[in-house]
């Protein structure tokens, strides 16, 4: 679990499509440097979010660490397009007892979004992003949460028909995340608010009359409750 509060920005050392080393596991891997500030308490197997993607540390030193990338990760995120020297957002998994400053972020990227407009306003910047997967639009609501490359941000405007939304980034955030290095046409990772997904699943199950654990129909249960209420009003 993460919060979307980026701890530091690292640099890509190398993206390897087929890493035959022990740490690479005969698959794709990504090595990140300039991460000293988050590696002091690191252990093999720890989770670190890179551009919002929860990944497992397979090797590390004082300043650098490596993670493996599964095919699903490469298909769903922008990590496969990274090149040496690119900056990335980094966040360690949330530790118990720490202040929770962002929102619930799983590090499970839903899709990518294309930056279609960047517009400064005073010392802030507007970003308009078009979602690659339109099915995610129901979970993107004005003033709701969204994680963009692992950064917890507030949604401003939403256009469901054209599949875009906007966010505004304040000056402080601009200096602590990778978003300002992006240009129109670049793709970013997005993770929608997971609470919206759970609410949808529960309400959909109820409306469809799915079965409860004891086998009774949820719709039947609701009918009984309504019937009792009506009896009391007679």
Pick the catalytic residue: 33, 47, 87, 166? Answer: 47
2 assigned to active site? yes
47 assigned to active site? yes
Give residues with Cβ within 8 angstroms of 58, minimum separation 6: 23, 24, 25, 29, 44, 66, 67, 68
3 assigned to active site? no
Pick the catalytic residue: 21, 37, 70, 216? Answer: 70
Pick the catalytic residue: 49, 54, 113, 147? Answer: 54
What CA–CA distances, in Å, run from 115 to 11, 35, 89, 99, 204? 22, 27, 17, 31, 32
Pick the catalytic residue: 20, 21, 37, 56? Answer: 56
156 assigned to active site? no
70 assigned to active site? yes
Query: What does the block give as tokens for 231?
Result: 């009896």
Give residues with Cβ within 8 angstroms of 161, minimum separation 6: none
Query: What does the block give as tokens for 14?
Result: 């190398």
98 assigned to active site? no
54 assigned to active site? yes
Residues forming the active site: 2, 47, 54, 56, 70, 108, 154
């Amino acid at each position: 679990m993460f919060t979307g509060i980026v701890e530091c920005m690292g640099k890509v050392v190398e993206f390897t499509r087929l890493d035959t080393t022990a740490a690479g596991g005969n698959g794709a891997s990504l090595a990140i440097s300039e991460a000293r500030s988050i590696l002091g308490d690191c252990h093999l197997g720890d989770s670190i979010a890179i551009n919002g993607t929860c990944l497992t540390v397979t090797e590390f030193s004082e300043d650098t660490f490596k993670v493996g990338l599964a095919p699903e990760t490469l298909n769903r995120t922008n990590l496969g397009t990274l090149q040496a020297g690119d900056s990335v957002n980094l966040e360690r998994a949330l530790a118990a007892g720490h202040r929770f400053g962002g929102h619930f972020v799983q590090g499970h990227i839903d899709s990518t979004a294309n930056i279609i407009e960047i517009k400064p306003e005073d010392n802030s910047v507007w970003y308009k992003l078009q979602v690659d997967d339109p099915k995610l639009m129901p979970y993107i609501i004005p003033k709701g949460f969204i994680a963009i490359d692992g950064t917890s941000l507030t949604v401003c405007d939403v256009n469901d028909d054209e599949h875009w939304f906007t966010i505004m980034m304040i000056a402080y955030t601009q200096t602590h995340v990778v978003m300002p290095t992006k240009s129109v046409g670049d793709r970013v990772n997005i993770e929608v608010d997971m609470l919206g997904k759970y609410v949808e699943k529960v309400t959909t199950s109820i409306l469809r009359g799915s079965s409860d654990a004891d086998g009774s129909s949820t719709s039947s249960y609701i009918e009984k409750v309504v019937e009792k209420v009506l009896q009391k009003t007679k």
